[in-house]
Amino acid sequence: MAIKKVIVVGAGPSGLILGILLAKQGIEVELFDSGAQLDEQPRAAHYATPAAYELARAGVLEDVKARGLHPKNFAWRKIDTTFIAGINHDSLPEDYPYKMVVLPLDRLGKLLYEHIQRQPTAQVKWSHRVMKIGQDEGKAWVDVETPTGLKRSEADYVIGCDGASSTVRRELFGPEYPGETLNAQIIATNVRGIIHWHAFSAS
């Protein structure tokens, strides 16, 4: 069956990348996000080879590289700084296209939004909270709370990219999602940023 339309729930980086990929195949894409605008929190910033590959497939990697930083190495450490594992780009060929790139998530979101707005078959709808999903033999559907009231939208598929508090996941699996939360703490530290901050503070 030819896919004509897909609904994507969540217009964060994952939803936007997926929307771009689908729209480039001529598929109509409707993205719903409960927020009034792009998420402006910086949060995640490092995109290693698997993520860089997907950014390239979406046709945005070169723009990400142009706006981002290019670390020579990257490490995971315990809280006491004991080394666990790392990535050293010196071991990769000079022209390897998928080296890690660093760009805060809020800036990545803006870049992806610029790209998806160029796709004539894609629409991003803000302040649209998906309340319920369902399907019948011919289509999938979502009930959406919009600024003008509750509306239903239909498509061939509904895909959830709506994060940790996912409505789509809850609708599919109920309150007890069959996954795992790791009992671990992750601290992200940008050493370059810390050096610059100390230098600024001392001046």
- Find the Cα–Cα–Cα–Cα dihedral 96, 102, 105, 108, rounded to 10°: -50
Beta bridge partner(s), residue 32? 9, 125
Q: Where are the domains of the chain?
A: 5-202
Mean pLDDT of 79-98: 88
Question: Cα separation of 115 and 118, whole Å?
Answer: 5
Question: Cα separation of 9 and 19, whole Å?
Answer: 10
Rg of the chain on CA atoms, in Å? 20
190 burial level (CB within 10 Å; 0-12, 13-18, 19+): middle
Q: Does domain 5-202 have CATH number 3.50.50.60?
A: yes
Output the six-digit token pair for 181: 């939360």
Which residue is it, tokens 């509750």? 150
Residues 106-123: pLDDT tens digits? 999 999 999 999 999 999
Reported pTM:
0.84
Beta bridge partner(s), residue 151? 144
Question: Cα separation of 95 and 19, whole Å?
Answer: 29
Residues 155-198: pLDDT tens digits? 999 999 998 778 898 888 887 766 677 777 666 665 554 434 33
